[in-house]
Structure 1
């Protein structure tokens, strides 16, 4: 009986030409059909599209290579065949300045993390602008630590490789001699007329949204160091407070070193939302004055008109 049962099971275990069990093949086939039946029309279309994309990968790669070659040949034709790329703009002759700019990062505990991240972006902008400036300054970042360092480590790990910058954990008063320091603060009664190349100008690294008014001025007085404000009122009329972002102050100094004009520096750097308008030395709006001069030139006054009629 046992032998008969083995023989009866043998046909069920017959294999096909590929050595696969027929019964298992049928099961796989039925599973495949079941899977196809469970896919929606959209899913099947998506799979076909994906398969087509994969099949054409090499073709796309070849086309990109051909287009790149064509652009290279076109550039050589435009340049007269000398092979030099006209995309590289001639680098301006850079003359480093001996002036020092310090961003004071000792206000870390007074800011929320969102404000610290804004300060981080402003410092990134200062670094980038100084690297491309015609007269780059000696850039110092002091009192680095706490939330700011954490943000820099998380968002910009490459900061440890920054060039042409001195990054210190110490306070700026421990890095630069006090007699060389000038704190730039809008609350100072002193107006900065000229830049002294021997000085180190400090910018408060604080994004406070008016929560800590006058704190940089008070810190400067406590340390007994010089302080001054940029001559905004003498050259610019604004529709907002004179408190500027760290990168704006930094960029204004760089622009002044290049242009030699406070007014040009302010107009070039300050964003339109600040409503900055150039004014003459007598305090009048330069734009309005031009319009008035234009009106007076085009329309003679009433006395002249009466004389002509007479």
Structure 2
């Protein structure tokens, strides 16, 4: 009994401590003087963090509103991009409706792998990529063949352009072109041929030699064509163009010139559309005289006429 009375007295004293002068219990936490008093015991850094936290809490709704606005803006931007994408896609598709595929066959002969260094094989690879891309966007795409694919070239394509296995509208063969097409249908395009190609025959298959050798094997493709008994010819370059460099053109240049000719119907336009400026191409007139040479000849004729007139006057 004595213990119980002692406990009751201690509890009563504890309750008195928790009651203020008005008889109300003191709040456990306040934002007023109690907080200020509590802050006095904080360091400068802690006070700064506390203020930052309060500010962050106060701006919570503002941040929420800004996130909502950014989300709406992104949604509008996506809708605009989709609409623009649809417009651009339809714009790209419209010209394709006017495309008229050609029955002409162009063959890239890749049977010279063992004659080239790896750096030249990689150049050939890039030229083939260009041919493929240009044919895909041409108004009159040809039937493109890639023959004798293997060795270093295939290795380069596998390493540098793994997507080539998904190329469309191209016939890729490991066989030699002479095994794929009839001999009488073939025409080998080589600048060493004495025959000049005036027109393109849609029933023929024109072969372009895939050889990047910097003239180390000059005339090689021409000799190969003769060995196989295949018709050969060169593009009518000299009839329309005079260049300050050799007439041997890159694989993709020959390919693109033929595509341009199919579109424009003019060799001269095709040459000057495709030939790079470094070739120094200058137009040749119908008489086969370079325009600049003709002007020089006219100046020489005028000087001769002037000299003749002066000589005649002296004699008179």
For residues 162 and 266 of structure 2, what CA distance do their matches in structure 1 show?
A: 37
SS of the equivalent of 2:95 reads coil
Deviation at 1:66, TM superposition (A): 3.6
The alpha carbon displacement at 1:72 in A equals 5.8
Task: Name the residue aligned to 1:248.
Answer: 253
Partner of 1:223: 228
1:91 aligns with 95
Q: Distance in 2 between matches of 1:190 and 1:224?
A: 14
User: Could you tell me how far apart the structure 2 residues matched to 1:244 and 1:214 are?
Assistant: 13
Aligned to 1:141: 146
Shift of 1:86: 5.4
CA contact (8 A) 1:278 1:287 kept: no
Task: State how far apart, in whole Å, the 2-side matches of 1:95 and 1:263 are.
Answer: 22
2:210 corresponds to 1:205: yes
Which deviates further from its counterpart, 141-150 or 91-100?
A: 91-100
- Taking the TM superposition and a 5 Å limit, the aligned residue runs for 1:225-240 are 225-240=230-245
Inter-partner Cα distance in structure 1 for 2:142 and 2:108: 12
Cα RMSD after superposing both structures:
3.1
| Maintained 8 Å contact 1:130/1:136 | yes
**Runs of at least 4 residues of structure 1 off by over 6 A?**
62-65, 287-293
Query: Unaligned stretches of 5+ in structure 2?
Result: 1-65, 300-304, 307-316
**Aligned ranges for residues 154-165 of structure 1 at < 5 Å?**
154-165=159-170
- Change in 2 beyond 3 A, CA 1:145/1:280: same
The structure 2 residue matched to 1:108, chosen from 101, 109, 113, is 113
1:69 Cα deviation from its structure 2 partner: 3.4
Quick check: 114-123 or 85-94, which moved more? Answer: 85-94
Task: Structure 1: state its 5+ residue gaps.
Answer: 1-58, 296-300, 303-310
Structure 1 length normalisation: TM-score? 0.68
- For residues 41-120 of structure 1, the aligned pairs below 5 Å read 66=73, 69=76, 85=87, 88-89=91-92, 90-92=94-96, 93-120=98-125
Deviation per CA, 1:106-136, whole angstroms, max 9, x where unpaired?
0000000000000000000000000000000
Query: 3-state DSSP class of the match of 2:171?
Result: strand
Alignment match of 2:128 (pick from 104, 123, 126):
123
Report how many aligned residue pairs link the two structures.
232
Report the TM-score, using the length of structure 2 for normalisation: 0.67
Distance 1:69 1:135, change over 3 A: same
Largest Rg, 1 or 2: 2
Distance in 2, matches of 1:290 and 1:65, equals: 69
CA distance in 1, matches of 2:81, 2:103: 45
Gap change, CA 1:65 and 1:123, over 3 Å in 2: farther
Q: 1:133–1:86: structure 2 CA closer, same or farther, 3 Å change rule?
A: closer
How far off is 1:285 after superposition? 3.2
CA distance, structure 2, for counterparts of residue 115 and residue 258 of structure 1: 31
Q: Distance in 2 between matches of 1:280 and 1:199?
A: 30
Larger mean Cα displacement after TM superposition, 275-284 or 190-199: 275-284
8 A Cα contact 1:139 1:165, kept in partner? yes
Equivalent position of 1:262 in the other structure: 267
What SS does structure 2 have at the residue aligned with 1:282? coil
User: Is 1:152 the counterpart of 2:154 in the alignment?
Assistant: no
